[in-house]
Amino acid sequence: MPTAARSSRPQAVLFACGMNSIRSPMAAHLFREMFGKTIYVGSAGVRKGELDPFAVAAMEEIGIDIAKHKPLTFEELEEWEGLNFDLIVTLAPEAHHRALELTRTLAAQVEYWPTPDPTAAEGSREQRLDAYRAVRDQLMQRIRQRFGAQGSGNE
């Protein structure tokens, strides 16, 4: 693995967004699919949300089932399993601000990956689903760029 980013891979990664209902669960499940259990991964939101059915559909298209994902806030995650992450990847401005606040007491690196909110898309069901596919594909590409390509998490 030639790059410094790959040689200094984190042990635990948290993906964070506004409501933990679209972008962060998509990213966490993509990451888990790519890296299996070699790196711990979690997701959280600033506010409580409900899992978005379009996110479920977009992930289902590539064989990843996120239907059982339960959205969590940062506070719930901290209470239930702790915030023992050495990298927090934020996907929305409010999550980025919250993660930076956490670094006052948490020794974690924070990276901001601006990711569009697909709920802003209008049009037919297919046009709206295209926005979710674009987010999914962008997240997959960013994960591969940042952490390197790896085989299926089931290997």
Per-residue pLDDT tens digits of the chain, which is 155 residues long: 344 444 468 999 999 999 999 999 999 999 999 998 899 999 999 998 999 999 999 999 999 999 999 999 999 998 887 788 999 999 999 999 999 998 888 889 999 999 999 999 999 999 999 999 999 999 999 999 999 865 544 43
Residue ranges per domain, the chain?
Answer: 12-145
CA distances from 146 to 3, 100, 113, 150 (A): 10, 20, 11, 12
Burial 62-95, CB ≥16 within 10 A → b, else e = eeeebeebebbbbeebeeeeebebbbbbbbbeeb
- Model's pTM, two decimal places? 0.89
Quick: pLDDT tens for 45-72. Answer: 999 899 999 999 999 999 999 999 999 9
Fold of 12-145: Rossmann fold (3.40.50)
The single residue listed with the structure tokens 């940042």 is 146
